[in-house]
Amino acid sequence: MIILKILFQYHMTKFQLIKKSKKSQARLSLLKTSHGNIHGPFFMPIATRGAIKNLTPDETKFLKNQIILSNTYHLMLRPGMKVIKKANGLHKFMNWNGPILTDSGGYQAYSLGERSKTKNMVKFQEKEIEFYSEIDGKKIFLSPEKAVEIQMILGSDIIMVLDQCIALPSDYKKTKQAMELTTRWAKRSYEYFQMNIKDKKQMLFGIVQGGTYKKLRLQSAKDLMKIPFNGYAIGGVAVGEPRKKMFEVLDCVTPILPENKPRYLMGVGKPEEIVEAVKRGIDMFDCVIPTRNARHGTIYKFKNSQSKTNATLTKKYKIKDESFYDLIRITNAQFEYNFQPIDSNCSCYTCKNYSLAYLRHLFITNESLGFRLATIHNLAFYLNLMEKIREGIKNGKI
């Protein structure tokens, strides 16, 4: 009994709730991992295949990024677990000494099925997911246990259970079946994790599914909360439903999730969506938006000075409100002779050393340096946004 109590206390100290807002459900938190502590709410840049596109790990450290997200499915295919084992884990393989969260591959299998013209390309079955490699066409099986095993080999600080994500809108019966399968897989994932865990600081998160159906979302959350996961994610949003529906899901699910565990909204999102989700009690975010938009020449910029920007984050947003930032389409002709920095309030070296005119020139001539500089700035914007949010919560403004 004493040993179990000690283990329980150790389990609980991985996440600390620092402060709760009096104006909203926003929280300040601290998440402890083997590779460092993470201050929440926080954003995770996407390093799907073990790299943030166009950036080195050192550059992400320069931006004061706390954690990255990589993917089980893609790393399983390339370079494969033999290479990762030989490299002694993903951290050493990619030369990143900070925390890593890895997605389980469930979303990628769903996405592969959605993109494929062949209906039988991906099969979600009780035992496992059966699919064909997009690289060489080889048949591959991914079970809940296998997904956890791979993430353990990767050395992930936060491991996600395998889930079934479905496109929205979806009918009630299909959504219910996917939600129930996700719950059964979650139980199997947890059992495997407990039997094979070696690094006691590794964490396993469950994923709430259920589409846009309130009854299914609540049932999924309640069933998963019976399993003592280290944290709980909300998945299956930003997959085709109206943005308003996503917030309705958060309003339904977040209040019943454990207060003493981190809450992760998967695949979200736009800056204003992140602000709104934080106000609803979410601690963790990831999205391809800042890096993908950077490669397509869309640059983020705060509209006001730093002090005014903090103020704009505290207002009550309408669903379509983007009032605290601008989107710069860098290839527009209006920037051809604009020798001002992208954002005079930004501290990243893109803004300090390069002008809008030069960045436009790089994109017009398809120079890869343009993609790199835009990516650095957009990630700086997102990470600065999270810092402003944390400061706003600390000062009682959010």
Catalytic residues: 103, 286
How far apart (Å, rounded) are the C-alpha atoms in residues 150 and 276?
A: 34
How far apart (Å, rounded) are the C-alpha atoms in residues 46 and 287?
A: 7
Per-residue tokens: 367: 């120079």
Q: Report residue 190: phi and psi, to 5°.
A: -65, -45
How far apart (Å, rounded) are the C-alpha atoms in residues 207 and 265?
A: 9
Question: What are the residues whose beta carbons fall under 8 Å from the beta carbon of 205, sequence distance 6 or more?
Answer: 158, 159, 160, 161, 229, 230, 231, 232, 233, 262, 264
Per-residue tokens: 9: 């206390």
Alpha-carbon distance values, 178 to 126, 291, 356 (Å): 10, 30, 47
How far apart (Å, rounded) are the C-alpha atoms in residues 101 and 92?
A: 15
Is 266 in a helix, a strand, or coil?
coil
